[in-house]
A and B are shown apart, each in its own frame.
Chain A
Amino acid sequence: MAVRGWAVNPSVSLLVAILLPLFAAPLIALLGRRPNLREAVTLTTGGLLFLNALALVGPLLDGQRPALVLAEILPGLSLVFELEPLGLLFALLASGLWIITSLYAIGYMRGHHERNQTRFYVFFALAISAVQGVALAGNLLTLFIFYELLTFTTYPLVTHHRTPEAQRRGRIYLGMLLGTSFFFLLLAIVLTWQLTGTLDFRSGGILTGKADGLLLGVLLALYAFGIGKAALMPFHRWLPAAMVAPTPVSALLHAVAVVKAGVFAILKVVVYVFGLDLLNETDINTWLIYVAGGTMIIASLVALTQDNLKARLAYSTIGQLSYIVMGAALANGWGVLGGGLHIVAHALAKITLFFCAGAIMVTLHKTEVSQMRGIGRQMPLTMGAFFIASVSIIGLPPTGGAWSKWFLILGGLETGHYVAVGILVLSSLLSIGYLIPIVINAFFFPAQDNGGLKEAPTLSVIALTLTALGCLVLFLYPGPLLTLLRLMGVF
């Protein structure tokens, strides 16, 4: 493979992944008066970041797990970055989609005449830096640190408009994410440290034999609900609240980076802190399957009632995230594989949907589903992409969503959790209910305001076409992702 030829020290690449966007941020701020140069910096950084992550694939395939210890935060506890398959997958996903989102954002922010664009790009870069930190974290403490940083760096993006409405929703966002992470997650981490004396991620877990079933159950609950970014009900309210942000933020952060950081953390905790064997032995994971299933169904039902497109997509995201939580909760190889794959599949699909929602808003100034009759004739490319992404969310071929759902159902069948299988199928049906009518209305009805062809800004259309194509490519070539995920060593 070509990337293997790169003679970059892998542990340096780990640091570069964090520092590159971090240093890009002040540069972007300095170039505030020269928008073209400023956006060039964003795009260049995104490109370099993606290449940097790509360069790490080679060492990983060679069986290397380079680690980088930065500083000793507490005696015996360090800030560590470590290369790990799932983490690299997440890092690749976030940096790759950052480029596309930046393309989209340039079209969107200028088309929408947003104010304070410099601040927007600065905090975007900082948030990406935090995401890379979450992805490459080498222990729970590091994960927690970047998880919290992600909350704080996205807060200015969520409240970008600084209206009273943004302020109110910013409170919900911050309150719920900080509340869960301080109250449950930090407690869980300190408890883990106290029980085991380590916070490292180790295959097979670190908790085996350290605590009895009840305490483990409590611990799992603290993790599951403490990682509020996974939006497990009843701690999901922040996600619809975050939709007050400009659409690129909703697209990358609240469909990909932030929420995926949550489910990614849950997968990491289940696989590397608890260990699948421990969960199966003690059977403390069954309740989580039902909580995730419940979240799926309820969120899908709520999505059916939402008229605002972004709100509908947000509730859809809540439901889809629970697929991944369920994959973790099934605690077998197929479940984890399906969960890991769904991180990518859902990311591509949901970012496309949000791109489309934003494009419709910028071009036709429409935000409600009920206004969108006939827009397919005005914006055929956008709505075509919307359709492909919807199919992927539903989980039908020929889109990437089909694979992840397939593996999840296999996982349910293998562990005998037939209820989980039933819930997955029901959730797919519900997602047909809340997505397909939009497409049908768009294409099979005449346009309301008989305008002609009126597509979104070119850059935005390119972005959403790329991600929609990604959904299709993922169906045809899931191989590389499976190879990567197989390195996790759980199947």
Chain B
Amino acid sequence: MIATHLPILQVVIPLMAAPLCLLLRRPRLCWALSLAVSVIALVIALLLLGRALSEGPISYALGNWSPPWGIEYRVDVVNAFMLIIIAAIGTIVQIFAPRSISHEILPSQHTLFYTLYLLFLSGLLGVTITGDTFNVYVFLEISALSTYALIALGRDRRALTAAFRYLVLGSIGATFILIGIGLMYMMTGTLNMADMAQRLQPMLDSRTALAALAFLGVGLTLKLALFPLHIWLPDAYTYAPTVVTVLMGVVTKVWIYVFLRFAFTIWGQEFVFTEMHLQDLLVPLSLIGMLAASTAAIFQRNVKRMLAYSSVAQIGYMMLGVSFVSQTGLSGTIVHLFNHALLQAALFMALGAMLLRVGSPLLDDLRGIGRQMPWTMAAFVLGGLGLIGVPLTVGFISKWYFILAALEKGWWLVASLILLTSLLAVIYIWRVVEVAYFQQPDPNTTPVKEAPLSMQLPIWVLIMSILFFGISTKWTAGLAERAAAWLFGGGP
């Protein structure tokens, strides 16, 4: 009985828990609730993936209104994989959160944090699971509004301006998406993705189609922070509390998924990338993004901002993988969605643990941290190696796919630029390593202790996953290849 309603439960449980959390008021209880909800969401996501793998796509008619008239939730391999990423990172973050926010968020706002987190979770899960375009917009705004508020929880006042700037740009992006969806609705008279995909095909020549694609393209790339529309990201990542930064890393990935959904499932890759020449636009933008953001990361004094720029570069990787328009490239993108989620979470969390003890993310204040917090710093180094793409970490798997995809196309320059970016990653990661291990801490500061177990545990779970999924890729690369084949088949 319950099994048939899993798709809706995936979204509704966090949505319902949010007001409940506000009623509970006590931060400890709220934490228990949001942790429980995250775990439930993860379990549901895993069950959904199992069913999607064994039985094919699951279609769920909301309120029993049959699609295409009612809202349909649709789970296939692609978004089941995405749901797992969201719920898994959410769970890990919740384990990490209590100690981290005790330092980074005012105590009076802890309840608010958990409430907003639950709304955020439900928004992202909703965007991913839904098969209805307007529903995408609604959940987009649920997650976006809670993200703005979450960023503003940061104790630095610059968090406020960062949140405001993100709000303005995010709203522009969302409205563009809304316009795009409206135009598509005008052409097809339907909001259901599968239905829309069929009805759209004969009308692709029209000017309306062109306008719709343009609005959607700009809106989505703004949301997923592709260079040069990434300008909101570094500030938001830097000044948000660490836990929020980790969560925001998932947001851009969800938008990459939505981009895939629109480009491959609804519009069809042939039209988007070849006829509309989006490939010619996205390849250079992704490459410039990778190079420029990696270079910018090298010159940051604030490690958090450095990681933020690195995230922009990784988004470049993922969009590059998409714009190869090949199964290999797409598999690379999908597997990197998962791999980078792990890497980014591990790195930001390790930095968060240092923030708890040192109180500053500036490079100068992390001198000698390798001796004072050996485990945390070791985790940071391992995560950094993953970011560089060293073999036996997940980063290598992604890199392999991207290079292979470039060579399949015969794009030697692109392949060498991918490799160049990973060398740039060596530089910015090694700046931190050298400061942490080669320099002496400021003698005027008191030595700091190792981070508490409640922080070490989630960090090392992530690090172990980074290594495990770098060695055994049956469940990541294997699934990503299936998902890519599925998207390429145009299956709704």
Contacts and interface: CB of A to CB of B under 8 A. Distances in A.
B404 interface: yes
Interface size for chain A: under 10, 10 to 19, 20 to 34, or 35 or more residues? 20 to 34
Contacts of A193: 404
A3 to B, nearest CB: 32
Interface string B440-480: 00000000000000000000000000000011111001100
A149 B392 contact: yes
B404 A175 contact: no
Interface size for chain B: under 10, 10 to 19, 20 to 34, or 35 or more residues? 20 to 34
B391 interface: yes
Nearest to B481: A75
Interface in A111-125: none
- Residue of A72, A73, A164, A167 with most partner-chain B CB within 10 A: A73
A71 B420 CA distance: 29
A167 B438 contact: yes
A194 interface: yes
A174 B430 contact: yes
Contacts of B422: 182
Given A183-B419, A183-B420, A72 B426 contact: no
B362 interface: no
B437 A74 contact: no
A187 B438 contact: no
Contacts of A187: 403, 407, 415-416, 419
A145 B426 contact: no
A221 to B, nearest CB: 13
Nearest to B422: A182
A259 interface: no
A190 B473 contact: no
A152 B437 CA distance: 15
B434 interface: yes
B397 interface: yes
Given A148-B390, A149-B391, A187-B419, A71 B472 contact: yes
Nearest to A190: B403
B385 interface: yes
B474 A72 contact: yes
A191 B404 CA distance: 7
B399 to A, nearest CB: 8
A328 interface: no
B426 A178 contact: yes
- Residue of B391, B416, B419, B471 with most partner-chain A CB within 10 A: B391
Given A171-B430, A183-B420, A74 B400 contact: yes
A184 to B, nearest CB: 9
A490 interface: no
Given A178-B423, A182-B419, A74 B477 contact: yes
A4 interface: no
Contact of A162 (B416, B419, B423, B438): B438
Contact of B438 (A144, A159, A175, A190): A159
B156 interface: no
B280 interface: no
Given A145-B392, A182-B423, A183-B420, A191 B407 contact: yes
B419 A186 contact: yes
Contact of A186 (B403, B470, B471, B472): B403
Contacts of B477: 74-75
B270 interface: no
Given A162-B438, A190-B407, A79 B471 contact: yes
- Residue of A148, A175, A190, A193 with most partner-chain B CB within 10 A: A190
A191 B416 CA distance: 12
Contacts of B399: 186
A174 B426 contact: yes
A213 interface: no
Contacts of B397: 73-74
A152 B396 CA distance: 15
Contacts of A149: 391-392
Interface in A133-164: 141, 144-145, 148-149, 152, 159, 162, 164
A145 B391 contact: yes
B406 to A, nearest CB: 9
A74 B473 contact: yes
A73 B476 CA distance: 10
Nearest to B438: A167
Interface string A66-90: 0000111111000100000000000
B93 to A, nearest CB: 28
A190 B404 contact: yes
Given A74-B397, A152-B385, A167 B434 contact: yes
A395 to B, nearest CB: 37
A179 interface: yes
A270 B85 CA distance: 43
A73 B423 contact: no
B404 A75 contact: no
A74 B391 CA distance: 11
Nearest to A145: B391
A152 B423 contact: no
Given A71-B471, A75-B478, A79-B471, A183 B400 contact: no
B125 to A, nearest CB: 29
Contacts of A71: 471-472
Given A162-B438, A178-B423, A187-B415, A148 B391 contact: yes
Nearest to A70: B471
Nearest to B401: A74
Contacts of B470: 73
Contacts of A178: 423, 426
Nearest to B408: A194
B95 to A, nearest CB: 26
A171 B438 CA distance: 12
Given A187-B403, A190-B403, A193-B404, A144 B471 contact: no
B392 to A, nearest CB: 6
- Residue of A145, A174, A182, A183 with most partner-chain B CB within 10 A: A182
A164 B438 CA distance: 8
Nearest to B385: A152
A116 B422 CA distance: 31
A148 B400 CA distance: 15
Contacts of A182: 389, 419, 422-423
A73 B471 contact: yes
Given A75-B473, A75-B477, A148-B390, A183 B416 contact: yes
Given A162-B437, A191-B407, A183 B423 contact: yes
A434 to B, nearest CB: 33
B416 A194 contact: no
Contacts of A152: 385, 390
Contacts of B420: 183
Nearest to A164: B438
A164 B389 CA distance: 27
A70 to B, nearest CB: 8
A208 to B, nearest CB: 20
Nearest to B381: A152
Interface in B222-273: none
Interface string B114-142: 00000000000000000000000000000
Given A73-B397, A162-B438, A190-B415, 20 more contacts: A70-B471, A71-B471, A72-B472, A73-B470, A73-B473, A75-B478, A144-B391, A145-B391, A145-B392, A149-B391, A152-B390, A164-B438, A166-B438, A167-B438, A178-B426, A179-B423, A183-B423, A186-B419, A190-B407, A194-B404
10 contacts: A73-B471, A75-B481, A141-B391, A145-B391, A152-B385, A152-B390, A159-B438, A174-B426, A182-B423, A190-B404
Q: Enumerate the 6 nearest inter-chain pairs by beta-carbon distance, A residue then B residue, closest first.
A: A145-B391, A190-B403, A167-B438, A71-B472, A71-B471, A194-B407
Interface of B: 385, 389-392, 397, 399-400, 403-404, 407-408, 415-416, 419-420, 422-423, 426, 430, 434, 437-438, 470-474, 477-478, 481
